[in-house]
Amino acid sequence: MAEDRPQIYLLTPPSFDLDIFPETLSKVLGAHEIACIRLALASKDEDAVMRAADAVRVVAHEHDVALVIENHIALVGRHGLDGVHLSDGARTVRYARKELGSDAIVGAFCGASKHEGMNAGEAGADYVCFGPVGETGLGTGTRPEREIFEWWSEVIEVPVVAEGALTEDLVRAYAPITDFFAIGEEIWREEDPAAALGRLIAAMG
C-alpha cells in the first residue's frame, strides 16, 4: 500500500457463524493489509461475545493484526484483546484508559460532532471515528460535514477514521482527508468479501 493512503480498519458483522466466519476473515486478512479489526457484535449475550472474541482473536493475531472490542472494556484483558472501541464519544475514554493502561488501543466514535471528537482526543483516545459518511437509516443518520475531516486532518494529530455506508465514490472522495476507513457490512454482504474490499482499496487511487 502507498504510504499516504488511508489504512483499513475492518469491522466484523454484528452477528456471524463461528463455524464459518473465522475462515472468511482469514481470507480477507491474507489478501489485504489490515491495520486493525473491531469486534462489533450486536449481541448482549456475554457467552456468545466471549466465544466470538476468542475465535476472532486467534485469526487476527495469526495475521499480526490488532483486535479491539466494541464497548466491553472488562473483556479486553480477560481475552487477550488489544483494546476497546467506545461508541459513546468521549464519555468513557478516560475510564477506559485508566482501566486498560497506556499500551491498549482506545478509540471513540463521535458521530458528526467535532467537539465530541476533540474531547475524546484530549481524554486520551488513540483515534476518533466520524460517521456515517454515506447515506444510511441506521442510528440518527446524521452525516458529519466533510469540513470536519478536512479540518481534522490539517489541525489534529489524533488519527481520524471515516465510517458508515462507504461506497467506492466516497472512498475516492475521502481518501485525501482521512487516516483510516472503517469497513464492515460494505464487504460482508458480498459473495467474495476479499474482492469487495479490494475494489474499495483500489478506489483510493
For the chain, the average pLDDT equals 96
Q: Mind listing the domains of the chain with CATH numbers?
A: 7-202 (3.20.20.70)
Predicted confidence (pLDDT) at residue 138 exceeds the cutoff of 80: no
pLDDT at 140: 81
Listed in sequence order, the residues at least 6 apart from 2 whose beta carbon sits closer than 8 Å to its beta carbon are: none
Predicted confidence (pLDDT) at residue 2 exceeds the cutoff of 60: no
Across the range 115-128, mean pLDDT stands at: 98
C-alpha torsion angle, residues 139, 142, 148, 149 (rounded to 10): 60
Q: Tell me the pLDDT band of 137, cut-offs 50, 70 and 90.
A: confident
Q: Tell me the pLDDT band of 178, cut-offs 50, 70 and 90.
A: very high
Predicted confidence (pLDDT) at residue 3 exceeds the cutoff of 70: no
Strands (E), 40-118: 66-70, 83-86, 105-109
Predicted confidence (pLDDT) at residue 113 exceeds the cutoff of 60: yes
Is the CB of residue 139 less than 8 Å from the CB of residue 132?
yes
Q: 146 vs 143, 151, 152, 168, 170, CA distance in Å?
A: 9, 9, 10, 16, 11
Global pTM reads: 0.96
How many CB atoms are closer than 10 A to CB 147? Answer: 10
pLDDT at 105: 98
Read off the C-alpha cell for 36.
486493525
Eight-state DSSP code of residue 12: P
Across the range 83-95, mean pLDDT stands at: 97
| pLDDT tens-digit map of 38-52 | 999 999 999 999 999
Q: Tell me the pLDDT band of 139, cut-offs 50, 70 and 90.
A: confident
Is the CB of residue 205 less than 8 Å from the CB of residue 176?
no
Max Cα separation, the chain? 45
Compute the distance between CA of residue 62 and CA of residue 25 in angstroms, rounded to an integer. 11
pLDDT at 92: 98
Q: Tell me the pLDDT band of 1, cut-offs 50, 70 and 90.
A: very low
